[in-house]
A and B are shown apart, each in its own frame.
Chain A
Amino acid sequence: MTNERLTAFTRQAGTILATLIGLLILTFCIGRLMPVDPVRAIVGEEADQATYDMVAERIGANLPLWQQFFRYVNDLAHGDFGTSIRTGQPVINDILHVMPATIELATFAIIFGAGLGIPLGILAAVRRNRPIDHAIRFVTLIGHSMPIFWTGMIGLIVFYAMLDLVGGGGRLSDYYIGLVPEATGFLLIDSLLAGDMEVFRDAVNHLLLPASILGYSSLAYITRMTRSFMLDQLNQEYITTARVKGLSKNRTIWHHAFANIRVQLVTIVALAYGTLLEGAVLIETVFSWPGFGQYITNNMLIGDMNAVMTCVLLVGIIFIALNLLSDALYKIFDPRTR
């Protein structure tokens, strides 16, 4: 490693560290701002003063704020994210338990969003300012402007209540719940492992609507970005040169223009995947989907401090990680950044 690269590396590590510390301060502030007395939440309303003081002493609620902060960081460093007041379980166990449902939902959503969004974006760029371009831009703008929880409900009214094409809320119909043993937490994988095709079909049926609606919101973003990346390329002279030299239009588009935007697309899709967490909060509420989004909302509504702090911290870390990942991908695949 050359000296220059070492400096760059140290600088980036410093940036990440500073952002992480900021993130910790932010979650700590949110936790302390909450109108819940952490001691009262543990001992209950009826506890006498002695018990109250004892618990306050044990969890350090009467220490100065900065000491409480160090205690918080120290606990985190030892893998202790606190105990959920609602479930009595360590928060991290709760989160690990609900995560597969959300990952399953988000993965199908991103397959839908990217699988449709990238071709649409390329089509819009190639047919710039033609009717098809306007139509695609209109569809994506709607996806960008719609309240996702509302679209979810309209989807339920139309495709579930009226047409009866898909399953309703939840991950499975009631009579299938608990039929397959929970191995990974991913229902599709679990049902395949158990060889139960009926459960598998039912799970897919329940996944289809929420995943496609969630995917529609990321489709809007992916299409817009693909279109503008493609336009950047198509306006460049090497494209004209390639065409003049007799290369077919298709080959120019796919082998030259598209080949050059692949790296950018990967980063966009990675970021879109993270943003799906936001949509998941709303779509999981609409579809009674027992995932991370519903977990975070429920705990916010009842003021379960440890759970809320950990969830916020986790979302922040996921986003920082995705940003780092997309930077790294750039460096690996784009020789110009080396």
Chain B
Amino acid sequence: MAAESLSIQDGAQEKLMSGYRSNPNSAFRRFLAIIRELLDSPTSAFGLVVVTILLLTAIVAPLLAPYDPNVVDLGNTLKPPSSEHWFGTDELGRDIMSRIIHGTRISLTIITIVSVIVGPIGLLVGTTAGYFGGWYDTVMMRITDIFLSFPSLILSLAFVAALGAGLENAIIAIGLTTWPPIARLARAETLTFRGADYISASRMQGASALRIIVKSIMPMCLPSVLVRVTLSMATVILTAAGLGFLGLGAQPPLPEWGAMIATGRRYMLDNWWLVAFPGGAILLVSLAFNLLGDGLRDALDPKQR
């Protein structure tokens, strides 16, 4: 993975930089060009469409859901899928489709907060470590190594156990375990153009280290970091669902998909729809982020094809 990402540079930089230098209109055109490129391949188009649907569903969830996700209907428990309840009902008679639709809001919250935390932290740690080098680099990379020496789910589990179960703590724990690979990547990228002529040029013109990092290095790392964050989201979705399933993430009655599967587990042998549909939703979203990430890599880096 690292070796692959290392080579995402030249073409990608020019493509993205062209958007930075010129007016907002051409940046927008550049954005459209990337979207068009994503839609060209069926797999990344699928990823883009599913992620867009997820976004829209989360926004209009109450309008879209046929029932209230939390209303208990004890006369209608454990009903298999039918024309009234497309995905059936759960042990309390709640409509599973409505719960999955409302669950998109939780998934989207997790994804948004985690990316907002890990993108900038990873970028900042990686670029500064790569640019300054020396003992600062050594310390920072030792720290990321320690985090990287754990599978992400086990470390998140440990953090949640320390902080207490719940959705907020699960998000913090996932954030804590997601930034190190991004920092590693940003550092590797920084190292490759730390010695470039244009960096020396701006240093000789008297630009401060901060200015060089923010203005010249960070934009160069952006494409690969963006690809990496998108791919990480596939793992984040799985980890969040896993925590919810183990009872350490979102707590019932929240319609979080992993937690829904955990409660459905007791009835699953006779009522498959309790676990099949929420799990299908997790698989779909995780798959979509993987495909979108692969597509973005192709779109931002023509060399990879």
Contact = CB atoms under 8 A, between A and B. Distances in A.
B125 to A, nearest CB: 15
B150 interface: yes
Contacts of A308: 158, 161
A147 B241 contact: yes
Contacts of B154: 277-278, 281, 296, 312, 315
A142 B286 CA distance: 9
A330 to B, nearest CB: 14
Interface footprint category on B: 35 or more
A84 interface: no
A150 B261 contact: yes
B283 to A, nearest CB: 5
Interface stretch (A18-26, A95-103, A242-250): A18-26
Interface stretch (A29-37, A50-58, A195-203): A29-37
B151 interface: yes
Contact of A154 (B151, B270, B276): B276
A32 B295 CA distance: 43
Chain B interface helix/strand/loop/mixed: helix
B287 interface: yes
B129 interface: no
A282 B245 contact: yes
A141 interface: yes
B8 to A, nearest CB: 15
Chain A interface helix/strand/loop/mixed: helix
Given A26-B146, A30-B158, 20 more contacts: A15-B142, A19-B145, A22-B145, A29-B162, A145-B283, A145-B287, A147-B258, A149-B258, A150-B261, A157-B268, A160-B269, A274-B151, A275-B151, A278-B152, A282-B153, A300-B158, A308-B158, A308-B161, A312-B158, A319-B151
Interface of A: 15, 18-19, 22-23, 26, 29-31, 33-35, 141-142, 144-151, 153-154, 156-157, 160-161, 228, 274-275, 277-278, 281-282, 285-286, 296-297, 300-301, 303, 308, 312, 315-316, 319-320, 323
8 contacts: A26-B146, A142-B283, A145-B238, A149-B242, A150-B279, A300-B157, A300-B158, A319-B151
